[in-house]
Amino acid sequence: MENCLFCKIIAGEIPASKMYEDENMLIFKDIDPKAKNHYLCVPKSHFKLLADMTEEQSEMLKACFKKIPELQKELGLENGYRLVINQGEDAGQTVFHLHIHILSGQKMGWTPA
Ligand code: AMP
């Protein structure tokens, strides 16, 4: 997808601190971390919202959710972690290529506002 930041990172046109990559996903460090550990897991196929997802993309997302716990050591998830998917304006989505935030390494509160 033209002009999509995460498509450009996946294509290697913009640098990122990569943690894991396979045919379905790329996992890299968030540039502006909101927790001690903050990674983004990005399916390689471009779509903005879960509501837009095709069957094929849902398989890709499933692969992401399967892989994340397998990387608990590499990503520092041993003591617990939080996954967040911001969807649309109220949630504050700023990059319109679906991604899973992976947050860990500290105790986290529960205050969406
Ligand atoms: P969201 O607000 O849910 O769309 O999340 C977008 C995330 O992308 C934010 O947490 C940003 O800090 C992160 N981000 C923006 N640009 C970059 C970049 N070049 N490399 C890594 N993370 C980025």
| Predicted confidence (pLDDT) per residue in 11-29, tens digit | 999 999 999 999 999 999 9
Section 54-66 average pLDDT: 98
38 is catalytic: no
The pLDDT value recorded for residue 2 is: 85
Q: Which of 6, 40, 82, 86 to mutate to test the pocket of ligand 1 (most atoms within 8 A of CB)?
A: 40
User: Cα angle vertex 34, ends 30, 35, to 5°?
Assistant: 100
> How far is residue 76's CA from residue 97's CA, in Å, rounded to a whole number?
25
Q: How far is CA 98 from CA 25, 60, 80, 88, 103, in A?
A: 11, 11, 23, 10, 16
**1 has a pLDDT exceeding 90:** no
The pLDDT value recorded for residue 111 is: 81
Which candidate in 38, 97, 99, 101 is catalytic?
99
Query: Full-prediction pTM beyond 0.85?
Result: yes
The pLDDT value recorded for residue 6 is: 98
Section 64-89 average pLDDT: 98
Q: What is the mean pLDDT of the chain?
A: 97
- Asked if 62 contacts 45 with a C-beta cutoff of 8 angstroms, the reply is no
In the structure encoding, which two tokens stand for residue 77, read together? 């998830």
> How far is residue 92's CA from residue 25's CA, in Å, rounded to a whole number?
22
The pLDDT value recorded for residue 113 is: 67
- Residues contacting 9, CB < 8 A, separation 6+: 15, 16, 26, 28, 42
Ligand 1: distance of its center to the CA of 31 in Å?
6
The secondary element (H helix, E strand) that includes residue 29 is strand 25-29
